[in-house]
Amino acid sequence: MRSFSGLVASVALALTAPLINAQQQVCNGRAEFCSRSYSNVTLIGAHDSAFVGPIIDPRVNQEVDITGQLNAGIRYFEVQTHVLNNVISLCHTSCLELYAGPLSDYLTSVKTWLDGHPDDIVTILVANGDSVNATTMGSVFNATGISEYAFVPSTSPNMLSINDWPTYSSMISAGQRLVVFMDYHADEREVPYILDEFTYYFETPYDTTDPEFAQCEINRPDSAGPDGRMYIVNHFLDTNFLNTGILIPDNFADAETNAAKGNGSIGAQADLCYSIYGRPPNVVLVDMFDRGDVFTAQNNLNNLS
């Protein structure tokens, strides 16, 4: 005969199980994302996420560090790399202009965060400024241990169809909670988890100086068509510094640029893109994500309240 205490424990477990299961069904903070495929979610991304400083510094693109960006809710990060003294480093255009430390430190911070957040998926897009080969780039990911979380397509080294990406919940269950893309010199035969950006995405123009963002044409890759690729909207505004032809981030406009709605907003450009391609962007890259209303824009683009 079951003891009274055993019966109470069984009832308690039965009552709490739905709560436990509900908690497990939150992916990137939203239950709605769990059943969606990776290619069917729109994310706000941090452009030049490693270049952090005060808004008055024209070299920087964010004012919150990578851990702060993650804590705030950003899950897509673009980073620019160059080689300094044989170390893959985070440098803005060149390491003489702005040096933000070795890539390994950045990846270690992301791994530490992932270790403590088992229901989240993070994407890193590497801008490979000095054309480092995939094996060398992969060695940095491996050394930090972050590659243990890396997603490898079931079709690797062949392209995974846009319609065949797994759901967030299945990626989380498989422990593949880091997706890595690189713009140039990815080679999935050598490093299967560093995916070629332009196999999987097309991008809209960058270095935009029009505050209305009245365009959404394909900028890269040159020969790309929209079919079969996800797409990235570069929604960060530059300004022509003293009419010298030198473009710098227009950080003081970010409250308007990063608005959810209105002229020149994230929502307005996304609507334009939708009218052209019949689907929302997968990524909207922004500067100074903490200025404006980027998470309302993200919810709107995912049809979430």
Q: 113: which residues sit within 8 A by CB, 6+ positions away?
A: 67, 70, 71, 122
Hunting for tokens 């990235």 — which residue is that?
Answer: 232
> Which position among 82, 92, 185, 235 bears the catalytic label?
92
Q: Is 92 a catalytic residue?
A: yes
243 phi and psi angles, rounded to 5 deg: 60, 30
Tokens of 274: 């939708």
Whether 82 is a known active-site residue: answer no
CA distances from 62 to 49, 56, 91, 108, 127 (A): 6, 11, 14, 19, 17
**What is each CA distance from 90 to 30, 53, 74, 184, 274, in whole angstroms?**
31, 14, 19, 16, 33
* Residues 6 or more apart in contact with residue 145 via CB below 8 angstroms: 111
What's the Cα-to-Cα distance from 172 to each of 27, 142, 197, 212, rounded to whole Å? 8, 20, 22, 38
Partner residues linked to 231 by β-bridges: 202
Report, as residue numbers or ranges, the catalytic residues. Answer: 47, 92
